Structure 1
Amino acid sequence: MSTRILFVCLGNICRSPSAEAVTQAMAGKRGLLLELDSAGTGAWHSGEPPYGPMQKTARARGYDLSTLRARQVVSGDFSEFDLIVAMDADNLSNLQNMRPAGATARLALFTDFAPESGADHVPDPYYTRDFDGTLELIERCAAGLLDQL
């Protein structure tokens, strides 16, 4: 049985789909079988592809986000996944509030897997416009997460 991980940000159009794609690519290179998905705590972008500038930045680094579509976290995610990884403290708090009784998924911050980065969250490039910096941090966090599996 493979490990099931859900990556979560606010709208599921920048950070969490990038984390899904980066982690999948890195896991493949390591020969790890993982079941990965991404979602947002909000539903504003449900059904939409990742944000164009994020896709462009990811593609330049060898990651394809084009087949991913945004969705909102649902209560079943808390039992379907082994680990739910939030991009920042606000999303982690939202997940803790959404978590149904008896849920089995462990919750964590993505940056906890890259303490050497000094970051306490993955900045949202939709607002910061630093798509490269966000993707670099995601790569560091993904590598740390895979090291712990």
Structure 2
Amino acid sequence: MSFASLSPDEATPFRIIFVCTGNICRSPMAEVVLRDIVTRSGLGRLITTSSAGTGDWHVGEQADTRTIAALAKLGYDGSHHRARQFDPAWFADFDLVVVLDRTQERILRNWATSERDLSKVHLLLSFDGDQAAMGDVPDPYYSDDALFDSVLGMIERANTALFKQLAPAIRQGVR
């Protein structure tokens, strides 16, 4: 994906949403991590992050306790997260829809109603050349704390790569 033509401003920041299955494990991690990277870079007013799930099983719930714990171990705060389900009408509200695995990619591509919507959907690992071939960030929900930690590491690396691609275009668009 090319971000070369971006020209965000404080009134209309670049809006990113991360989407996984239930919005309690991977997508909240990705949202919190990228928000931290963006804030530390000084671009917090120009890039916003959020997350959602394709399913409605956990709507209104906090992130999984293991997600919150994995984030906390690395100094992130995921305690304020509340799960929600992605609404296809939201395509208009976001510039980039980042999915955590190919299942969400298929679902969101089916929900898209235009080429513009389709062009917004990207796998998170596709931004990181070292992890792109893996395609999917594994869902740690049915596993142990170690997989939550491993998944968080994958998400941190991929979000760092995403930000390195996005930041120059954002900075260039700021006058």
> Shorter-chain-normalised TM-score: which range?
over 0.9
If the length of structure 2 is used for normalisation, what is the TM-score? 0.81
Q: What are the ranges of 5 or more consecutive residues in structure 2 without an aligned counterpart? A: 1-8, 167-175
Which residue in the other structure is 1:132 paired with? 149
Q: Does 1:59 align with 2:75?
A: no
1:107 aligned to which of 118, 121, 128: 121
Greater gyration radius: 2
Which residue in the other structure is 1:82 paired with? 95
Which residue in the other structure is 2:138 paired with? 123
The size of the alignment, in residue pairs, is 149
Shift of 1:75: 1.9
Shift of 1:64: 0.7
SS at match of 1:36: strand
- Cα distance in 2 between the residues matched to 1:67 and 1:135: 18
Contact residue 79 and residue 103 of structure 1 kept, 8 A: no
% identity of equivalent residues: 40
Which residue in the other structure is 2:26 paired with? 15
If the length of structure 1 is used for normalisation, what is the TM-score? 0.94
- Cα distance in 1 between the residues matched to 2:113 and 2:79: 32
Shift of 1:28: 1.1
Q: Does 1:26 align with 2:40?
A: no
- Cα distance in 1 between the residues matched to 2:83 and 2:18: 12
Moved over 4 A (4+): 102-105
Shift of 1:65: 0.8
| Aligned CA-pair RMSD | 1.4
Which residue in the other structure is 2:82 paired with? 69
Shift of 1:119: 2.6
